[in-house]
Amino acid sequence: MRSRYSAYKLGLADYLLNTWHVSTRPQAMDMHEPVNWLGLKVLGHAETDPLHAQVEFVARYKLHGRAHHLHEVSMFVMTEGRWFYLDGKGDG
């Protein structure tokens, strides 16, 4: 989760796509909005079974000068020894 947050902060779309599970990965990422990522707080994590895990977090950011937050529970799956992002449920 922290590496994906860092990739968003640095605008590393290729990294985000490469760590996104092929079953839910978009074709491309639009990272042209001027987002200023301010911080990440991981609220909890749990392995739901040996191949699945979830991470709850809050990410703070500014967009067009206004402060926002993203509170999400992200789902991950282990494939070939690596964790991949599946999807998330949250509020923005």
Ranges of each domain in the chain = 2-91
Tokens 């990272």 correspond to what residue?
A: 31
Residues 6+ apart with CB under 8 A from 91: 70, 71, 72
pTM attached to this predicted model: 0.89
Q: Percent helix, strand, coil in the chain (nearest 5)?
A: 15, 55, 25
Per-chain mean pLDDT for the chain:
95
Tokens for 65, please give them: 């000068």
pLDDT digits (tens, 9 = 90+) for 24-57: 999 999 888 889 999 999 999 999 999 999 999 9
- Write down the architecture of domain 2-91 according to CATH: Roll (3.10)
pLDDT tops 80 at residue 74 = yes
Measured distance CA(83)–CA(72) in Å, rounded: 17
